[in-house]
Structure 1
């Protein structure tokens, strides 16, 4: 089924999809765990680095995984809900930041270079924002599927890991709306300052999201991606599914990127088994979201920039985990007693 998965033809086709996608290789994970326990260190002494190495082994299907190709994808989109005044900056900033990415001037460019990732920036119809979700669906199902398929097509099937990030003025409002729709709870718990909203701006975001949720109540998780989401969120979901179909692990960035995949999580949590979360964002809703999804972030650095910056930084930790896993000597190789 994975060969015929793309292009995606129906949002409701995601239901039940996990049963037809690759799963973690238990034998490779067990072999990697046995290797960890034979290395010249007390078992468990490298903590999360050991867990990350075993995770990579399971999803790459080998006890000695390596990262030869790390692909970083940043999707950019604009949002009709910005007509409600939910962001202190104009949507023109999205295209300006995309130009900055392409010129090499953003944080993500530096972090990708430092940690060995190949960066691609995909601008998604920036001149045509989605619709205002307080007045109707942000996207039609057709438009949502088109964005998902663009995200899927961007994934390099030869990559060893895919890092996902986003850029879009107003997308912290989209993130909070998707989290509230698919995880539940009070809208106010999901809303944060984003790019700099003050208390009045946060209150406005909350009211706008409540109006959108009321208008689109009773919809399925995947329908919420179309009615409340944006093109970059849909593209992230498509990229996650394409990576899974190819057996490639994924590193999600922060709050907005994690919230983007809540429609997949609410449809079937197993769809995200191959996903790591790079860092715990300083956006207040992210901690709640990580708890609800059962995801332990790789880093806790108080970052909230977006654009894949946390994912690129966490890649350095992941590379370090594999260097230790593959390069350390075993007790037998080192002639050290106690192994």
Structure 2
């Protein structure tokens, strides 16, 4: 399905009038949960997850059969400021690795039965250095949002968005700071593992970007300070909402892109859960701002969607128990 917007105004309108969960499915799932052969609340958060998932899929007894993982790749002009421990060429090399099935995200997607797609966004034309000018023109920004939207398979029943882009923790920190408030130091982390001098340089670059592109408009923040892969993730998360597809959010970069949507519309991320807490320092702060409690905390900082794909297992477990367990009546067990 092609993106139903060609302007930023149309994209904004969609977010303010997005589909909502099915209240009848939620009620049915809650009723079923109360009849399953277990003490009330014994499965903890798994019970809430299953009911949440049922609401978005429109059935009180859902199943997860077609998860989709989409990895977006982009290059960043701000890398000229030496903000990363790796050169921009690594982005292209890693996309080739994805295509050949050699990355961690390939193994995890396969392990959890997810289809994996990779979209490289104009890797030969990096975004502009945001310390000097907006990272993207409006046309470039809209094209990236549309790429994200179009990447989502309407037949999928769960979505994970991942990313690859040397320098993108710098862009994500700048976007988060601009959208959520706070200074550069409170949002900037070590990313791929820069040393103290690199962290100081990276923090200064984020501060320069914030000073040049001060704005109260979340979309302008993403256009001026973000990257094509961040914009594509935002477009994909919005498309999932359009198709009532639940989303598992990945780490700091994914959540920075999602924060843009959250600031545009209060309930824009109701179809999303946080897959994990990453080792990037400001990720916890970002999740708190989004009101999302992570499902896993494994010290990951790889990106690619890796932590969110691991959380597919948690959600599959929740839904399997909810939909597959017998009720007290079916099992012939007394419920007291």
TM score, norm. by length of structure 2: 0.97
Where structure 2 has 5 or more consecutive residues not aligned to the other structure, the ranges are none
Where structure 1 has 5 or more consecutive residues not aligned to the other structure, the ranges are none
Matching of residue 102 in structure 1 with residue 91 in structure 2: no
Map 1:50-199 onto structure 2 (within 5 A): 50-199=47-196
State the partner residue of 2:249: 252
- Deviation string 1:101-149 (CA, Å, 9 cap, x unpaired) is 1111111111111111000011111111000000000001110000110
Map 1:263-282 onto structure 2 (within 5 A): 263-282=260-279
Map 1:283-298 onto structure 2 (within 5 A): 283-298=280-295
Q: CA RMSD in A?
A: 1.3
CA contact (8 A) 2:15 2:264 kept: no
Alignment counterpart, residue 307 of structure 2, candidates 301, 307, 310: 310
CA contact (8 A) 1:11 1:223 kept: no
3-state SS in 2 of match to 1:272: coil
Offset, 1:36: 1.0
Provide the rounded CA distance (Å) in 2 between the counterparts of 1:236 and 1:330. Answer: 39
Offset, 1:252: 1.4
Alignment counterpart, residue 43 of structure 1, candidates 40, 58, 68: 40
Alignment counterpart, residue 234 of structure 1, candidates 224, 231, 234: 231
Offset, 1:217: 1.0
Provide the rounded CA distance (Å) in 2 between the counterparts of 1:217 and 1:120. Answer: 35
TM score, norm. by length of structure 1: 0.96
3-state SS in 2 of match to 1:284: coil
3-state SS in 1 of match to 2:43: coil
